A and B are shown apart, each in its own frame.
Chain A
Amino acid sequence: DQQVKQNSPSLSVQEGRISILNCDYTNSMFDYFLWYKKYPAEGPTFLISISSIKDKNEDGRFTVFLNKSAKHLSLHIVPSQPGDSAVYFCAYTRDDKIIFGKGTRLHILP
């Protein structure tokens, strides 16, 4: 049973446009949601997080939105840049657990 679902395995976006990465979850109890970015042959790197008591968190070009009623999380990247091409993982933490989604591969097109 997938507790964190990233339903789009891949996404292509034109450079300069907005990239929207989505994540759905099944469990209502969590502490934080986190987004990690991964380049080939490297480990994931932390991007941005949001706590369960917030509905938005912004850091530069990256904004995460949390819709608790829909159990939906999204990451917006504006404007998209070539270096944003990577695999993006969402994850949530609860008590002593961390659960990752399977990832979405983002391609930024020139």
Chain B
Amino acid sequence: DAGVIQSPRHEVTEMGQEVTLRCKPISGHDYLFWYRQTMMRGLELLIYFNNNVPIDDSGMPEDRFSAKMPNASFSTLKIQPSEPRDSAVYFCASSPGPFNEQFFGPGTRLTVL
């Protein structure tokens, strides 16, 4: 298995633009997680899905953030409109159980100018 795949690896955009981050989890994993990593706040869980259903989105910072999982092999995290304070590394992870060992993707480094 190729592991968790994220795209793009790097994204530079201007304030106000829409940003879409993509994730392909490991096949057979029922749980998918989106995290954000910043120097100030460390690694924060934004939202997670079980069998494509959002379970906990309490970590989503505000309404500008949304996440979807239309099928078992694909998820998106969208920011609209983007702001400079959204600049961070966004990780997607998947796991067979709720908080078993999670397998992380390589991350997307987002820079909002």
Contacts and interface: CB of A to CB of B under 8 A. Distances in A.
Contacts of A96: 55-56, 98
A1 B55 CA distance: 23
B44 A100 contact: yes
B43 A44 contact: yes
Instruction: Please classify the interface of chain A as helix (H, G, I), strand (E, B), loop, or mixed, using the class held by over half of its residues.
Output: strand
B4 interface: yes
B105 interface: yes
Given A31-B99, A89-B43, A43 B93 contact: yes
Contact of A43 (B44, B45, B98, B107): B107
Given A89-B42, A96-B56, A101-B42, A46 B101 contact: yes
Contact of B106 (A31, A32, A42): A42
B102 interface: yes
Interface string A29-72: 00110100000011111100100000000000000000000000
B104 interface: yes
Nearest to B107: A43
A93 B101 contact: no
Nearest to A42: B106
B42 to A, nearest CB: 3
A24 to B, nearest CB: 14
Given A44-B43, A93-B98, A99-B45, 11 more contacts: A43-B91, A43-B105, A43-B106, A89-B43, A91-B43, A96-B55, A97-B56, A98-B99, A100-B43, A102-B42, A102-B43
28 contacts: A31-B99, A34-B99, A34-B101, A41-B106, A43-B93, A43-B105, A43-B106, A43-B107, A44-B43, A44-B91, A44-B104, A45-B104, A46-B101, A46-B102, A89-B42, A89-B43, A91-B43, A93-B98, A93-B99, A97-B45, A97-B56, A98-B45, A100-B42, A100-B44, A101-B42, A102-B41, A102-B43, A103-B42
10 closest Cβ pairs, A-B complex: A43-B104, A102-B42, A93-B99, A46-B101, A100-B43, A44-B104, A43-B105, A43-B91, A98-B99, A43-B106
